[in-house]
Structure 1
Amino acid sequence: MARISDFQVKDVVNVADGKKLGNIIDLEIDQTNGNIISVILTKPTKGLNFFSKEEEIAIPWSEIVKIGEDVILVRYKMNVEIDEKSTTSLKF
């Protein structure tokens, strides 16, 4: 049997790029059947600031590749929006 506290101490790592995504802070559970829908992570912050808001990431349970002793491997693809004004074009 696994407890939420067992998951909270493990690092969550993206298998696509090997980067640490954060740590699990919560689980989203389907109340009708008790299945885990997704895990909720907090993204690691760069620097400590009392007023900074931690960013949360929801990763569907189906995207978990492997749960190990120290780490949870996930397949996570970030949604990147490109701002047309911020892109630069090169002319040759």
Structure 2
Amino acid sequence: MDVEFDPKTGCLTAIIVPVPGKLCGLFGPASEYVIPWQCIKQIGEDIILVEIKEDKFLKKE
């Protein structure tokens, strides 16, 4: 997981979560979810709850 922030304000703007590829993440297309900070509803020890539409935030590389 990575984060994106606004360098002018220092505020978080998004979290970036890798999407596992095929076969333990070693093969298949590399992609990631870029989740805007305003979509995050709750952060816990083992889970982050978000409210998004998957196809809108899946970014292929």
Could you tell me the TM-score, scaled by structure 2's length?
0.74
Contact 2:19 2:31 (C-alpha < 8 Å) held by counterparts: yes
Q: CA RMSD in A?
A: 2.0
Percent identity over paired residues: 38
How big is each residue's C-alpha offset from its partner over 1:13-37, in whole Å with a ceiling of 9 and x where there is no partner?
Answer: xxxxxxxxxxxx2111100010000
Task: Please identify which structure carries the higher strand content.
Answer: 2
Q: Which runs of 5+ in 2 are unaligned?
A: 57-61
For structure 1, list consecutive stretches of 5 or more residues without a partner in the other structure: 1-24, 81-92
Q: Distance in 1 between matches of 2:29 and 2:19?
A: 10
Greater gyration radius: 1
Q: Which of the residues 34, 40, 46 maps onto 1:64? A: 40
Aligned mates of 2:17, 2:30 — CA distance in 1:
10
Give the TM-score normalised by structure 1. 0.52
Runs of 4+ in 1 over 4 A off after TM superposition: none
Q: Which of residues 44, 55, 60 is equivalent to 1:79?
A: 55
User: For the structure 1 residues 28 and 44, does the alpha-carbon distance in structure 2 shift closer, same or farther, using more than 3 Å as the test?
Assistant: same
